Chain A
Amino acid sequence: MSDLVEAKRSPVPAQSAWESTGFGAIYASHSQAIYYLALRLLSDPTQAEDAAHDVFLKAYRHYDRFRGDSAVRTWLYRITINHCRNLQQSWHARTMVSQPDATFWDQTPGAAESPLRILETKELGQRIQTTLDALPEEYRLLLLLVADEQLSYGEVAHLTGQTADAVRGKLHRARKAFATAFSKTA
């Protein structure tokens, strides 16, 4: 008897929004890329987790406005970039952080075409983070986006507000700057 009453009191739960909207599948497909971008832009795993959470929640809230003009990945990247920029601006307002601009790296000798070689993958993430932190924001973002093979040069150009030709041109300089900065992390 009590089992019957209990069963009536707790009917089979309706499908959650996570499942019924298909948003769970979107999360599964893109969470790793979004978290990684936030992590490397913010340089802090805890902040990156919070940012990734906020990005997906924001995406869910505006899902009805997503018109499908771009791929979902590009749309999510756009939200992530804007969200991280807002966070960084509020941090920079509190603490002055000076970074060398792009011309510094253009004048620094470095071998753009030489291979990047590592012996240990254990600390690779930390070395990449240190390297990216040393680069101008423009180069950092460019390299992170181009590294995602799901994005075309056109989509990277759209996300960074420039032409695809400009992306190709700056990519060469960004690679050189990365190689130079990476060699200093050994």
Chain B
Amino acid sequence: MESPPPTPRRTRQEQIVEQHHTLRPDQTAIEFSNAEEMIRFDAAQTLPPPALGARVRNSVNREPRVQRSWWMRLLGR
């Protein structure tokens, strides 16, 4: 006996439950409500290369000292 065709009026919750049943037991799904949320997740997981910090530090230390203008020193900036 064939199952009845899915009705278009299913709630989103029902659709999500059905989708979860199609996952393997070792799979977990992550859902993002929009692009920024997904990008934010990706950004948090993307670390700069470890060598970058040492590279920037060495370059900065080779530079002549930055002279801060008198008004910046005065304002504590």
Q: B65: CB under 8 A from chain A?
A: yes
Q: Say how far A132's CB is from chain B's closest CB, in angstroms.
A: 8
Q: Report the contact-size class of chain A (Cβ under 8 Å from the partner).
A: 35 or more
Residue B3 interfacial (CB < 8 Å) = no
Instruction: Identify which of A4-12, A21-29, A99-107, A161-169 touches chain B.
Output: A21-29
On whether the beta carbons of A32 and B38 are closer than 8 Å, the reply is: no
Contact present for A32 and B59 (CB under 8 Å)? no
Nearest chain A CB to B45's CB is how many angstroms away? Answer: 7
Interface of A is mostly: helix
B39, A119: Cβ atoms closer than 8 Å:
no
Contact of A149 among B27, B40, B66 (CB under 8 A): B40
B61 touches A18 (CB 8 A): yes
Contact (A36, B46) CB under 8 Å given A53-B59, A179-B35: yes
Contact B66 A32 (CB under 8 A): no
A17 touches B43 (CB 8 A): no
How far, in whole Å, are A38 and B7 apart by their CA atoms in the complex? Answer: 46
Contact of A121 among B36, B45, B57 (CB under 8 A): B45
Give B5-41 interface residues, CB cut-off 8 Å to A. 19, 23, 27-41
Taking the complex as formed, is A76 at the interface, i.e. its CB lies under 8 A from any CB of chain B?
no
Residue pair A56, B46 in contact (C-beta under 8 Å): no
Are B52 and A52 in touch, CB under 8 angstroms?
yes
CB distance from B69 to the nearest CB of A (A): 6
Cβ B30 vs Cβ A31 within 8 A: no
Contact between B56 and A56, CB atoms less than 8 A apart:
yes
Please report A residues at the B interface, Cβ cutoff 8 Å: 16-18, 21, 23-24, 27, 31-36, 39-40, 45, 49, 52-53, 56-57, 60-61, 63-64, 67-68, 115-121, 124-125, 128, 143-144, 146-149, 174-175, 178-179, 182
Could you show 14 A-B contacts with beta carbons less than 8 Å apart? A18-B60, A32-B47, A35-B47, A35-B49, A61-B63, A61-B66, A63-B68, A64-B67, A118-B30, A118-B38, A121-B41, A143-B35, A147-B37, A182-B38
